[in-house]
Amino acid sequence: MASIRVRLTFPETLVREPVVHRLSTEHDVVCNIRRADVRERTGWVILEISGTQDAVSEAREWLEETGVRVDDLEPYLL
């Protein structure tokens, strides 16, 4: 099992989209919101993502491809 803690920064076009929900349901990972600040035009979330090493890596890639900025806060924890 792998786990990462990241800060997600959402552009205005994605603030109202269910990105975290899609991440957990479509990529077989568990998401734990640790802190967040979401406003009308922008938002950020501190998120723990857990799952298999492959699932966590694919989830991170999907976030970036979707247009979410992903900044690592902690390395992979095994």
Q: What is the pLDDT of residues 10-31, one digit of tens each?
A: 999 999 999 999 999 999 999 9
User: How far, in Å, are 12, 20, 73, 75 from residue 25 at the CA level?
Assistant: 23, 9, 23, 23
Contact criterion met (CB below 8 Å) for 73 and 1:
no
Q: What is the pLDDT of residues 28-64, one digit of tens each?
A: 999 999 999 999 999 999 999 999 999 999 999 999 9
Spatial CA neighbour of 42 closest among 71, 19, 13, 62: 13
What ranges do the domains of the chain cover?
2-77
| Type of residue at 32 | N
**Cross-strand pairs, 66:** none
The fold adopted by the segment(s) 2-77 is Alpha-Beta Plaits (3.30.70)
Model pLDDT, residue 34:
96
Q: Does the structure show a pLDDT above 90 at 77?
A: no
With cut-offs at 50, 70 and 90, classify the pLDDT of residue 75: low
Model pLDDT, residue 1:
87
Q: Is residue 57 packed enough to be buried (19+ CB in 10 Å), middle (13-18) or exposed (0-12)?
A: middle
